[in-house]
Structure 1
Amino acid sequence: MGCFPCFDSREEVQFNPQKVRSDRHELHPSAPSNISRLSSGGDRLKSRNNVNASLRRESSGPKGDSPDGQIAAQTFTFRELAAATNNFRPDCFLGEGGFGCVYRGRLQSSGQVVAVKQLDRNGLQGNREFLVEVLMLSLLHHPNLVNLIGYCADGDQRLLVYEFMALGSLEDHLHDVPPDREPLDWNTRMKIAAGAAKGLEFLHDKANPPVIYRDFKSSNILLDEGFLPKLSDFGLAKLGPTGDKSHVSTRVMGTYGYCAPEYAMTGQLTVKSDVYSFGVVLLELITGRKAIDSTQPAGQQNLVTWARPLFNDRRKFTSLVDPRLGGHYPMRGLYQALAVASMCIQEQAAARPLIADVVTALSYLANQGYDPNTAPAHNIVTKERPKTERNGRFSKNEEGCSRWDLEGSEKEDSPKETAKMLNKDLERERAVAEAKMWVEKRRQSA
């Protein structure tokens, strides 16, 4: 992957939007804008030429996937996208993205079904997000990142054209779910968590320089057929620190409830800020609760604040689980998933794991293949075991099903002890992977 000369670590361009139709919150006031609203006529043509020139200029450096260093995305006219969406009719409306509305459309030239996101022209902040997203998604390609098909910079219109994600967002399947829709089962939730983590790992570890997503949340995780998760909405993405720098200093942007505490307080941004946000989403997957929910009782409206005290007693772990699962989840898998979540939402950034380790842990969980027909976890009764077995991890219930022992010394285990238990599994999996790589290298050199 090549470099991105268009995104540096300096303070980003400040905008003062008249209206921003978004749930993002800026915690530091922005500087007065010297950018006026785009006008019609000749100014519109000049604006479109300036945007296209900017995209060509910003993509002129060495890149990864585009051999000629040019933006690979198609350019569309506003007329083409209006035709594709039936003039943005309400029945084509899919939802509201980071800086505008999203519509379902069909390109007349190819017949391809697409999602068209239209920038809210009353919010000038979207101009920068538009440029960043076109550049990012044109240069970064991964199965767990949404594909950008093209863009439109026609006059004062700014639109992005994506592949259509048939199943909507993760938020649609977790919160305010209609009664006639089946809730996500445990296996699907872990599959989504692992795939989303892989997308974040690509940004942090494979992109050069690393990319900090900065707006990781359930509404930005789109689901394709088979519940394949893909990260979307890269308007707030920021290049991570390089060389001997430990962080990027920037104005605080993001969504309340998902922002890491050190970033919200100081504006110092690192890849560990994304890891915190991932931990919040993982808690959403486990609990079925929103990151911020004003309908909950006092003390339970912030998901992290509510969940943290419950991590200290394993007897309370089951109270964290989404009741819509009906008890159909693996007890050991629950403990391990909660261990990952608890590590990700540590208040100190240095205590959080790297996303690569999170991927290892969640890939392991996603591959366990829990049988949803197993007796509900809350119905499994612990039988008294001989003293010689007290130090073992598993007991057997009447049906012969393995479960975690909640009795004896383990009931007071802290999340730290749970994390140690998980790390042993991770070390074993990593050792096996390294051995396989070594054998493969030996085979190729032979």
Structure 2
Amino acid sequence: MPRPRRPVAVLLLLSAVLAVAVAKTDRADVEALNVLFTSMKKPSKLDGWKADGGDPCDDDDGWRGVDCSDSSVTKIDLSGLDLTGNLGYQLSGLKSVTKFDVSDNKLSGEIPYALPPNLVQLNLQGNAFTGGIPFSVSQMSDLETLNVGSNHLNGQLTDMFSQLPKLSTMDLSDNRFSGNLPQSFQHLTDLKTLNLEGNQFTGHVDVLAKLSSLEDLNLQNNKFTGWIPSKLKKIDSLKTDGNQWSSGSAPPGMDKGSSAGASSSEGSDGGINGFLIGALVIAVLLAAVILLSVLQMKRSSPVSSHYYMDDSGHSSTVNMKPLEKSASIDSVALPALPYKTMNDNEFQIKLNSSRRISEPISLVTYSSSELQAATGNWHSSRLIGQGTVGRVYKAKYANGQVLAIKKFDPLSFSERSDFVELVTGISRLRQPSINEIVGYCAETGQFMMVYEHHTNGSLYEFLHLSDDYSKPLTWDTRVRIALGTAQALEYLHEICSPPVIHKNIKSSNVLLDADLNPHLSDCGLAFFYEDPNESLGPGYSPPECARPSGYTMKSDVYSFGVIMLELLTGRRSYDSSKPGNEQSLVQFVTPQLRDSDALGAVADPALRGLYPPKALSRFADVIARCVQSDPKLRPPMSEVSQELTGCVQRTASSRRGGGLYSASMRSDVSDW
């Protein structure tokens, strides 16, 4: 008679009990904290934290700075621990976290788009974060405190504050923000404390007069102009020093008091008011005379040719009056818009429309000596790219800031004004997935554009030159990269007026930030690419590019389809080491895109089968439409974006906080 196997039964029972204990903390929370710990370089002072697994909500295995409710992480407070590294890319998995505080550390990199989506308090103050405020903050409807003060954030604030009704405290102080205050500030109806000190904000502050709840306002040490609205002067705590306020009394009828430092008297005598009214009338008349003179000069001035897209999507040239030479981009007038032939009335209507929507440009002017020093005298170790338009170098500054410098061949521009005109146009291209220009250098024989630098390099490097296991690209991330790039192209093709052709769409021009969000580079440089076959390289050129004049916006769509193929398969666009029939990625994979059985076989092995089959099939359908031989059959980029959004919605982990948005939601139309 066999003996009972009681020890085995006991072990099984114990295993079951242990399994329940291990599962106390939600797995998504554990994974997000694992990534955060690794991204912060696994600091030993974070007691209990682990790079893999663990149970932060277990009373016996608590993690420093982590609070839980039942099985969910609810608060993370890691302030003042001298932490380094960055915040990683998976914080959006922390669905129940309401407080996230990593203030007063040494964290760097860009603030990730993937933040905990249901935050009430977000405190990133006192670090070395770069870039801007991620748009995902605009979706945090319960947010009450936003503190990003004392970092290295820069650029203009986007209109992202319309849906934050509970925000009561916002601190943006001691950064490098610039440009006008966004009009969406007026929707912050519960805002009590606002600190903008120590930035480079410009323009008026009228929008703040609409915030009746303000009790503490600090505007010190910016570049604000105009008059301080009288409503703001009634705020209990108001600081306004260190700006460029207008002196004297405000024009009559305007709800603005005297400027800071001027007389506090609200009553100005009639003589002063009359003088101001007369001055305004004269100014208007002078402006009208100047405008008429400019229009007359346009009919007789020499012109230069510039590249643009006509309504059919074909490339054309158009005459454009050259800019006057100028020492700073701030003082450069907008370039004449690239119009097709039109009568004077149509020209005047279009010109007036463009002036209404255009804002003054604010870019940093760099000297060639400064950039030379920041790149180690253009040392080869700082070279990060080389192409048709020049070389790209990494510039490092003592404060930790890192920039990318595109250095053009000295013969690329005949005059400084031509280069400044190009920079002016490119600076108008503002969309979250377009690599943003932040400055320029225009000296004799020295023409350089200064861009944001993205820590993860290009998509080409990530897919083809890195270890799949040390740098994995999950299915969700691949779809997000494709969608972000598609939205950048949608913006160029369908939102900019006139449409902007790119002409150099390839994976090496899709840059990835710290959170693996895409940023399309080389936008606005199409006229450098006379022969797309040469600039694009093998594998990306559509069939119609046998004739350079045959390149259209639909050619951009084809090249984008090739990038999607790279994301799907992990293969290069063209690989001479493969057998003959597999060298061209389009020719090899396209016949298999409609075959569900074959599709799984061509999917990148690095995915290890971890993808939703329906989303994979839909992704493949979009590719098949984009790489069709006939340009007329390829979809517009707005349709591509819509289809890819559907792929994301079918992936559970990306349904919320995935960093995806409509291009039309985010971007202002740029006429240039």
Q: Same fold (TM over 0.5)?
A: yes
Matches within 5 A, 1:131-146: 134-146=423-435
Q: Give the residue type in structure 2 aligned to 1:205.
A: E
Match of 1:190 in 2: 479
Choose which of 482, 498, 522 in structure 2 pairs with 1:209: 498
Match of 1:280 in 2: 562
2:500·2:524 contact (CA, 8 Å) conserved in 1?
Answer: no
C-alpha separation between the residues in 2 aligned to 1:370 and 1:304? 30
| 1:52-87 CA distance string (max 9 Å, x none) | 89x94662554687424xx53332210111122232
Aligned-residue offset at 1:368: 3.0
Q: Give the residue type in structure 1 aligned to 2:383.
A: F
Higher helix proportion, which one? 1
Aligned-residue offset at 1:207: 0.2
Choose which of 600, 608, 611 in structure 2 pairs with 1:329: 611
Q: Give the residue type in structure 1 aligned to 2:520.
A: L
Aligned-residue offset at 1:116: 1.3
| 1:109-161 CA distance string (max 9 Å, x none) | x8632111222448789x99966862442111011111101111222122111
| 1:184-225 CA distance string (max 9 Å, x none) | 110100000001101111111110011111111101111112
Match of 1:94 in 2: 384
Which ranges of structure 2 fall in alignment gaps of 5 or more residues? 1-303, 310-314, 319-323, 338-353, 655-661, 666-672
C-alpha separation between the residues in 1 aligned to 2:651 and 2:594? 28
C-alpha separation between the residues in 2 aligned to 1:74 and 1:89? 23
C-alpha separation between the residues in 2 aligned to 1:148 and 1:138? 6
Match of 2:518 in 1: 229
Instruction: Give the direction of change, closer, same or farther, for the CA distance of 1:124–1:155 in structure 2 (3 Å limit).
Output: closer
Choose which of 145, 156, 159 in structure 1 pairs with 2:448: 159
Partner of 2:451, secondary structure, is strand
Match of 2:536 in 1: 255
Instruction: Give the direction of change, closer, same or farther, for the CA distance of 1:251–1:171 in structure 2 (3 Å limit).
Output: closer
The structure number with the bigger radius of gyration is 2
Instruction: Give the direction of change, closer, same or farther, for the CA distance of 1:199–1:313 in structure 2 (3 Å limit).
Output: same
C-alpha separation between the residues in 1 aligned to 2:632 and 2:491? 20
Partner of 1:117, secondary structure, is strand
Partner of 1:299, secondary structure, is helix
C-alpha separation between the residues in 1 aligned to 2:453 and 2:356? 24
C-alpha separation between the residues in 2 aligned to 1:140 and 1:179? 33
Choose which of 89, 103, 108 in structure 1 pairs with 2:393: 103
Q: Give the residue type in structure 1 aligned to 2:404.
A: A
Using CA pairs below 8 Å that are at least 6 residues apart, which structure has the higher relative contact order?
1
Match of 2:406 in 1: 117
Please say if 1:59 is aligned against 2:348. no
Partner of 1:227, secondary structure, is coil
Partner of 2:407, secondary structure, is strand
Q: Give the residue type in structure 2 aligned to 1:274.
A: D
Partner of 2:582, secondary structure, is coil
Partner of 1:226, secondary structure, is coil
C-alpha separation between the residues in 2 aligned to 1:146 and 1:281? 17
Please say if 1:368 is aligned against 2:650. yes
Which ranges of structure 1 fall in alignment gaps of 5 or more residues? 14-47, 239-249, 373-432, 438-446
1:132·1:234 contact (CA, 8 Å) conserved in 2?
Answer: no
| 1:298-329 CA distance string (max 9 Å, x none) | 11111101112223533211122011111111
C-alpha separation between the residues in 2 aligned to 1:364 and 1:64? 36
My pick for the range that moved more, 337-346 or 270-279, is 270-279
C-alpha separation between the residues in 2 aligned to 1:229 and 1:209? 24
Matches within 5 A, 1:325-364: 325-364=607-646
Return the TM-score normalized by structure 2: 0.43
Instruction: Give the direction of change, closer, same or farther, for the CA distance of 1:167–1:97 in structure 2 (3 Å limit).
Output: farther
Partner of 1:103, secondary structure, is strand
Partner of 2:593, secondary structure, is helix
Instruction: Give the direction of change, closer, same or farther, for the CA distance of 1:352–1:87 in structure 2 (3 Å limit).
Output: same
Return the TM-score normalized by structure 1: 0.64
